[in-house]
């Protein structure tokens, strides 16, 4: 599941622009590094490209910390899944980490400890 969990739904939608552009370029056989939100926003999309990105976005969960748990549980229930694999793809590393932290907190997952260096 592609999930971006941010403080606001609009922020999650904005962050997803990077992934949408990456998927578009990959579909065209032009894979590239994940673009920044600004680069994705300023990309000169043709109407059919905008439609492609929007259809991809509809398959993602772009939500807030309060809504992420119910959204994921609904998907799991619909597909009778006992587990879900979640990935957050966005250009901003801190936003990606925050998304994973929000998701983990929503499911009350314990914080993992770093392995000590030898």
Contact indicator for 76, 84 with CB cutoff of 8 Å = yes
Question: What residues have CB less than 8 Å from 68, skipping those under 6 apart?
Answer: 3, 5, 61, 102, 103, 106
Percent of the chain exceeding pLDDT 90 equals 92
pLDDT reading at 70 higher than 80: yes
pLDDT reading at 118 higher than 80: no
Higher pLDDT, 97 or 110: 97
Q: What are the sequence ranges of the domains in the chain? A: 3-106
The rounded distance, in Å, linking the Cα atoms of 10 and 64 is 9
Q: pTM for the whole thing?
A: 0.87
Q: What is the pLDDT of residue 112?
A: 75
Q: What is the pLDDT of residue 57?
A: 92
């Amino acid at each position: 599941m592609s999930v971006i969990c941010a403080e606001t739904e609009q922020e999650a939608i904005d962050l997803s622009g990077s992934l949408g552009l990456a998927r578009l370029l990959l579909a065209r056989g032009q894979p590239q590094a994940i673009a920044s939100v600004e680069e994705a926003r300023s990309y000169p999309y043709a109407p059919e490209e905008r439609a492609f990105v929007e259809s991809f976005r509809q398959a993602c969960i772009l939500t807030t910390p309060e809504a992420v748990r119910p959204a994921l549980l609904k998907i799991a229930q619909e597909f009778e899944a006992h587990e879900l694999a979640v990935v957050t793809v966005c250009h901003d590393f801190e936003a990606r980490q925050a998304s994973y932290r929000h998701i983990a907190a929503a499911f009350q997952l314990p914080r993992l400890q770093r392995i000590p260096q030898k």
